């Protein structure tokens, strides 16, 4: 005997012409439909007729709530900690009536998903309210535990204190239409009624409102692949699905455009009033307007307060609003400017302009959205189209609601039919001294899309190139910097981490193998990074040329191919940086007390009895998340995993403290790659043309990157040959590199300075002699050009007796580009006077090693060269002058430098015409309209920069801009 057919409410059973409705069914438009969920039975009424009676019976047995069941119930009692619920029916619409009621409890923490500590039971439920909830626990022997912490859950029916039936008007208010009184409730999916024309909007089809989503955050373990489940939509035919999709698109498109027209008409007449009133409100008042206009719980931040949960190693589950509308949050929109920018952008531009931006803001990687689509629809763009229209339509409704909330006292025709006005919206909201890349990224969702700014992209890559160049040059010039860098590099080696027994491995006695490896890791790694930044910058240069040649036609085949090639290189470089971050973080110096090497010393592991603290645990989870999901998210154009780490570090300084300098450099490089991907996304609309072109040239792009890696390998091998056994003389042990540059020039200090400089000169002289025979392998490479380029070196002259004041020589003046490789540049003596005879030793012309004519390429990018710097005198006010006088301070026998705060550095650079932008970590980028950009690190976590570090900044300014002492005067 076959099992009976199970039908659902509303399911068609057959035409009424050939069937008779029975119990549990009804007739509508000539068809019989099921009124219940249960088994279908057919019975013939008589032998004379062929008509059958269709009956749907209730399932046998007692229906009881289970975990996950949606229920309807009535509030019977409330107190400050919980509300008592009597469960009356099962199902979202009460499809199954319970024979007996079931007691349940809704606890205070289960009422809402966000800001749980601010929830008040009395403002969410009252006795007699009908509530839709879901069972989250079977509870104890007395009551179930239920929750209303979703938008579709909450009060569905309520009676006012006057005894009148109320209607929902927002996610937290019911309205008594007779008395116009409003009462607070936790409302379940309200249908908004406002002064404008009311209309019904078609719900999202295919159950997309029930998509289960877990965002890929730093606290989460990898998201498992979603399993397709059988739903009412799964087996729908393509024609039926298409008709539903078309109906939805028509409904939402008409609603969205009407909302936009309404918003534009209101702003044309009242924008100045909106600006004035919004600017005059405090944060609490702004939040009230936003919450009232949004149909649901508005999150506090764009990550649903995930930072605290991440530090506590808790999984973060985001609700539908948080991943479809991440920009709708109190933290962003309560800002004085962002809501106004949002209003202006959406009202003045067609919704199609925001297509790419809105699609990129939706992160569907961790969702089971595909399991909700009919199997007959094999096109993932359909999902984007459906959700995109829903997002844009709701954004428009929200913005109209915000404007009407701000203009609450303007009614009727005066709202949209008054005279037009002229206004100016000032979009400059931040001081140039405090501009932040994280802040710029946070503002993007509220602004109108901008074109791809290749000039800015090139500026960012040039700054990274200059930072790497400066690091290599500083290793050559500054003994203190060399010692600090080599010790930092050595801290990542397995030899400095003990085993679980606390015993360090036996090290080879005096051959300094550890220092050989540390020097090799640092210098070789820097040279490879130099090649990567130069390659990427040259590709951006080529894109700029092609874009100009195509006259702005971004569909040109050559332009698209170059764009995709650049994107491929960025992804590959980012992948290598992700591997380096994963490799370095766990063995960096801040983690040494918490890790130990395993028995065979092949990998680090947690130290027994010494668990990570919350900050280090967060960074470890961050590293894991970036390693497993960073490449995937970047390929989809969504660098959210990487951005979240920077957001967390900017928010909580404790998270930045355990990040070692070497890891910070890698994170900064990865941040530059994410910015490249973000800019590229602006030029890749939601279409298949880019995907098809990418597939056509995929093999060619892989071959190009393989050739680039081969060139990098040649650089690696050649530089490693020059560094072989250099650790014998270049090790920092025994205070051989003690360099008291900030101390007064006593005879002992001068001797220490000169001794350290002599050691460093000897090390690099040995490097040059070894690399000389292989120098041709570096021809045409950025490393070869850098190593062969003559540069000035700061060297300490012998100490001489102070001259009389009448015969004191003027401050030293030295030029950038002096042809001195290992000698000393004529700078200053120990007491601050010039001594050219003592400073310039006679040296034999160099005939081996670098420089080598073969290393000079035919064409060199002039933007990478310092060029001939024309001396110039800058006249500054006293505050800015103090900054540069300290930066280029000449230490004498009785003069010592002071410290400068980071705020003063920002002020001084602004006085020189530079704009400042905070990048990843502690990096700041200073850009000038007529000069190359430069990257400087702030003194995190301190506020002042000591002289020894400020001097390095001055030396870098000298190498890049030719600035030196004596060029700054009081205006």
Question: 526 in the Ramachandran plot: left (φ > 0), alpha (ψ -120 to 50) or beta?
Answer: alpha
Q: Per mean pLDDT, which of 25-34, 433-442, 573-582, 722-731 is the most reliable?
A: 573-582
Tens digits of residue pLDDT in 370-382 = 666 777 766 666 7
Tens digits of residue pLDDT in 452-508 = 778 888 888 888 888 899 899 888 888 988 988 988 898 888 888 888 777 777 655
The CATH code that applies to domain 69-184 is 2.40.50.140
Residue pair 923/937 in contact by the 8 Å Cβ criterion:
yes
Which of 758 and 602 is assigned the larger pLDDT?
758
Nearest to 83 by CA among 112, 104, 57: 104
pLDDT for res 617:
79
Average pLDDT value for residue range 11-15: 83
- CA 404 – CA 194 distance, rounded (Å): 9
pLDDT for res 528:
94
The band of 154, judged by pLDDT with boundaries at 50, 70 and 90, is very high
pLDDT for res 705:
92
Q: Per mean pLDDT, which of 44-58, 210-224, 536-550 is the most reliable?
A: 536-550
Has residue 968 got a pLDDT over 90? no
Q: What percent of the chain has pLDDT over 70?
A: 74
Tens digits of residue pLDDT in 570-611 = 999 998 998 898 888 888 888 888 888 887 777 788 888 888
pTM (global) more than 0.75? no
Which residues touch 252 (CB under 8 Å, ≥6 apart)?
A: 201, 202, 389, 390, 393
Residue pair 857/789 in contact by the 8 Å Cβ criterion:
no
- CA 398 – CA 346 distance, rounded (Å): 11
The tokens for 454 are: 């290749």
Residue pair 395/347 in contact by the 8 Å Cβ criterion:
no
Q: Per mean pLDDT, which of 18-22, 525-529, 892-896 is the most reliable?
A: 525-529
Has residue 857 got a pLDDT over 70? no
The band of 554, judged by pLDDT with boundaries at 50, 70 and 90, is low
Has residue 114 got a pLDDT over 60? yes
- CA 439 – CA 933 distance, rounded (Å): 20
Q: Quick one: how far is CA 498 from the chain centroid? A: 36
The sign of the dihedral angle between the CA atoms of 445, 451, 457, 460 is negative
The band of 233, judged by pLDDT with boundaries at 50, 70 and 90, is low
pLDDT for res 368:
65
Has residue 243 got a pLDDT over 80? no
pLDDT for res 502:
75
Nearest to 362 by CA among 673, 640, 769: 640
Average pLDDT value for residue range 919-930: 77
Task: Provide the Cα torsion 447, 448, 454, 457; round to 10°.
Answer: 10
User: What phi and psi, each to the nearest 5 degrees, are found at residue 909?
Assistant: -65, -35
Q: Do domains 6-56 and 69-184 have the same CATH topology?
A: yes
Residue pair 93/8 in contact by the 8 Å Cβ criterion:
no
User: What phi and psi, each to the nearest 5 degrees, are found at residue 363?
Assistant: -110, 100
- Angle between helical axes of 381-406 and 338-348 (0-180°, round to 10): 120
The band of 209, judged by pLDDT with boundaries at 50, 70 and 90, is low
Residue pair 800/833 in contact by the 8 Å Cβ criterion:
yes
Has residue 772 got a pLDDT over 60? yes
Q: Which residue has the tokens 């996304």?
A: 681
Nearest to 642 by CA among 662, 622, 612, 616: 622
Has residue 405 got a pLDDT over 80? yes
Which of 810 and 774 is assigned the larger pLDDT?
774
Has residue 309 got a pLDDT over 50? no
Has residue 355 got a pLDDT over 80? no
Specify burial of residue 211 (Cβ count, 10 A radius: 0-12, 13-18, 19+): buried
CA distances from 624 to 307, 635, 638, 732 (A): 16, 18, 17, 34
pLDDT for res 651:
65
Has residue 846 got a pLDDT over 60? no
944-945 and 900-901 beta bridge pairing: antiparallel
Which of 966 and 877 is assigned the larger pLDDT?
877
Has residue 733 got a pLDDT over 70? yes
- CA 122 – CA 129 distance, rounded (Å): 12
874-970 is a CATH 3.30.360.10 domain: no
- Angle between helical axes of 640-651 and 614-635 (0-180°, round to 10): 150
- CA 799 – CA 178 distance, rounded (Å): 95
Q: Indicate the SS3 state at residue 187.
A: strand
Q: What percent of the chain has pLDDT over 90?
A: 11
Nearest to 101 by CA among 120, 86, 79: 86
- Lowest mean pLDDT: which of 33-42, 417-426, 651-660? 417-426
Tens digits of residue pLDDT in 811-843 = 333 333 333 332 333 333 334 333 333 333 333
| β-sheet with 931-937: strand ranges across | 915-918, 923-928, 931-937
Which of 655 and 281 is assigned the larger pLDDT?
281
**Cis amide bond preceding 851, omega within 30:** yes
Max intra-chain CA distance, the chain: 135
- CA 122 – CA 835 distance, rounded (Å): 84
The helix or strand, by DSSP H or E, that contains position 596, with its residue range, turns out to be strand 595-597
The band of 361, judged by pLDDT with boundaries at 50, 70 and 90, is confident
Tens digits of residue pLDDT in 619-635 = 787 777 777 767 776 77
pLDDT for res 76:
93
The sign of the dihedral angle between the CA atoms of 64, 69, 75, 77 is positive
Average pLDDT value for residue range 759-779: 86
173-176 and 166-170 beta bridge pairing: antiparallel
Long-range contacts of 655-658 (CB under 8 A, 24+ apart): 655/311, 655/615, 655/618, 655/619, 656/921, 656/922, 656/940, 656/941, 657/590, 657/615, 657/941, 658/588, 658/590, 658/591, 658/615, 658/616, 658/619
CATH value of 6-56 in 3.40.50.150, 3.60.130.10, 2.40.50.100, 1.10.10.10: 2.40.50.100
How many other C-beta atoms are found inside a 10 Å radius of the C-beta of residue 725? 13
Q: Indicate the SS3 state at residue 349.
A: coil
Average pLDDT value for residue range 520-543: 92
- Sorted by where each begins, the domain ranges of the chain are 6-56, 69-184, 256-429, 454-690, 874-970
- Lowest mean pLDDT: which of 207-221, 281-295, 554-568, 917-931? 207-221
The sign of the dihedral angle between the CA atoms of 190, 193, 194, 200 is positive
- DSSP label at 47? T
pLDDT for res 539:
92
pLDDT, mean over the chain: 76
Has residue 436 got a pLDDT over 60? no
Which residues touch 574 (CB under 8 Å, ≥6 apart)?
A: 630, 631, 634, 670, 673, 674, 677
Has residue 199 got a pLDDT over 60? no
**Cis amide bond preceding 498, omega within 30:** no
Residue pair 458/541 in contact by the 8 Å Cβ criterion:
yes
């Amino acid at each position: 005997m076959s099992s009976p057919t199970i039908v659902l409410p509303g399911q068609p059973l057959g035409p009424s012409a050939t069937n008779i409705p029975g119990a549990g069914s009804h007739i509508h438009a000539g068809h019989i439909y099921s009124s219940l969920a249960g088994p279908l039975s057919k019975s013939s009424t008589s032998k004379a007729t062929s008509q059958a009676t269709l009956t749907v019976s209730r399932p046998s047995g007692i229906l009881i709530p289970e975990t996950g069941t949606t229920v309807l119930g009535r509030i019977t009692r409330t107190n400050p900690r919980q509300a008592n619920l009597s469960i009356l029916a099962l199902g979202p619409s009460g499809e199954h009536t319970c024979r007996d009621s079931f007691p349940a409890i809704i606890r205070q923490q289960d009422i809402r998903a966000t800001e749980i500590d601010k929830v008040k039971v009395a403002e969410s439920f009252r006795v007699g309210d009908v509530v839709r909830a879901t069972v989250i626990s079977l509870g104890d022997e007395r009551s179930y535990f239920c929750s209303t912490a979703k938008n579709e859950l909450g009060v569905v029916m309520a009676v006012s204190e006057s005894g009148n039936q109320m209607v929902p008007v927002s996610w937290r208010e019911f309205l008594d239409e007779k008395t116009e009184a409003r009462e607070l409730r936790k409302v379940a999916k309200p249908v908004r009624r406002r002064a404008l024309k009311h209309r019904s909007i078609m719900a999202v089809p295919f159950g997309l409102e029930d998509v289960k989503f877990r965002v890929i955050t730093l606290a989460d373990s990898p998201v498992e692949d979603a399993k397709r489940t059988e739903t009412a939509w799964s087996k729908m035919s393509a024609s039926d699905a298409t008709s539903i999709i078309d109906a939805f698109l028509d409904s939402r498109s008409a609603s969205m455009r009407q909302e936009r027209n309404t918003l534009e008409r209101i702003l044309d007449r009242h924008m100045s009033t909106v600006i004035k009133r919004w600017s005059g409100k405090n944060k609490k008042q702004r939040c009230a307007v936003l919450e009232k206009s949004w149909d649901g719980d508005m999150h506090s931040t764009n990550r649903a307060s995930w930072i605290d949960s991440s530090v506590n190693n808790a999984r973060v589950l985001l609700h539908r609003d948080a991943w479809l509308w991440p920009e709708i949050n109190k933290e962003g929109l309560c800002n004085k400017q962002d809501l106004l920018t949002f209003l202006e952008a959406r009202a003045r531009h067609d919704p199609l302009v925001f297509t790419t931006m809105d699609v990129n803001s939706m992160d569907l990687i961790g969702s089971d959205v595909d399991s909700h689509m009919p199997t007959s629809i094999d096109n993932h763009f359909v999902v984007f189209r459906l959700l995109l229209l829903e997002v844009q339509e709701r954004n428009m409704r929200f913005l109209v609601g915000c404007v009407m909330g701000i203009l609450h006292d303007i009614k009727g025709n005066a709202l949209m039919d008054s005279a037009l006005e002229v206004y100016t919206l000032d979009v400059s909201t931040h001081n140039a001294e405090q501009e932040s890349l994280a802040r710029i990224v946070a503002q993007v969702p509220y602004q109108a899309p901008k074109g791809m700014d290749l000039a800015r992209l090139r500026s960012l890559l040039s700054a990274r190139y200059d930072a790497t160049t400066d690091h290599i040059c500083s290793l050559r010039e500054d003994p203190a910097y060399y010692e600090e860098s080599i010790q930092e590099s050595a801290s990542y080696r397995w030899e400095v981490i003990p085993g679980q027994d606390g015993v360090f491995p036996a090290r080879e006695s005096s051959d300094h193998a550890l220092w050989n490896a540390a020097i090799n890791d640092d210098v070789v790694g820097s040279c490879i990074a130099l090649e990567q930044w130069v390659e990427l910058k040259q590709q951006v240069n080529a894109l700029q040329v092609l874009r100009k040649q195509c006259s702005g036609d971004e569909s040109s085949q050559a332009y698209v191919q170059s764009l995709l090639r650049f994107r491929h290189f960025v992804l590959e470089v980012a992948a290598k940086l992700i591997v380096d971050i994963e490799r370095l973080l766990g063995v960096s110096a801040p983690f040494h007390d918490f890790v130990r090497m395993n028995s065979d010393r092949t990998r680090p592991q947690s130290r027994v009895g010494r668990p990570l603290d919350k900050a280090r645990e967060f960074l470890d989870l961050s590293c894991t998340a970036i390693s497993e999901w960073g490449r995937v998210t970047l390929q989809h154009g969504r660098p959210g995993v990487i951005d979240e780490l920077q957001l967390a570090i900017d928010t909580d300084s404790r998270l930045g403290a355990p990040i070692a300098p070497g890891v910070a450099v890698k994170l900064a490089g990865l941040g530059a790659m994410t910015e490249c991907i973000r800019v590229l996304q602006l030029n890749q609309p939601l279409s298949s043309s880019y995907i098809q072109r990418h597939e056509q040239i995929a093999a060619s792009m892989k071959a190009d990157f393989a050739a680039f890696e081969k060139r990098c390998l040649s650089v690696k091998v050649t530089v490693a040959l020059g560094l072989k056994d250099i650790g014998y003389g270049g090790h920092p042990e025994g205070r051989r590199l003690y360099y008291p540059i900030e101390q007064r020039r006593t005879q002992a200090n001068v001797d220490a300075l000169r001794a350290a400089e002599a050691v460093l000169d000897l090390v690099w002289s040995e490097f040059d002699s070894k690399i000389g025979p292989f120098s041709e392998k570096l021809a045409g490479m950025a490393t070869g050009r850098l190593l062969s380029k003559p540069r000035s070196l700061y060297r300490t002259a012998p100490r001489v007796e102070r001259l009389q004041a009448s015969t004191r020589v003027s401050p030293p003046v030295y030029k950038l580009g002096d042809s001195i490789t290992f000698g000393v540049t004529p700078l200053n003596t120990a007491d601050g006077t010039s001594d050219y005879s003592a400073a310039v030793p006679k040296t034999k012309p160099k005939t081996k090693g670098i420089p080598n004519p073969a290393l000079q390429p035919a064409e060199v990018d002039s933007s990478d060269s310092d060029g001939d710097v024309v001396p110039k005198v800058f006249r500054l006010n006293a505050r800015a002058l103090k900054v540069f006088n300290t930066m280029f301070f000449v230490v004498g026998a009785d003069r010592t430098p002071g410290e400068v705060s980071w705020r003063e550095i920002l002020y001084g650079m602004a006085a020189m015409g530079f704009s400042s932008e905070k990048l990843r970590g502690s990096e700041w980028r200073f850009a000038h309209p007529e000069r190359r950009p430069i990257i400087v690190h702030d003194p995190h976590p301190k506020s002042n920069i000591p002289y020894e570090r400020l001097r390095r900044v001055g030396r870098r300014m000298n190498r890049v801009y030719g600035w030196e002492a004596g060029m700054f005067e009081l205006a």
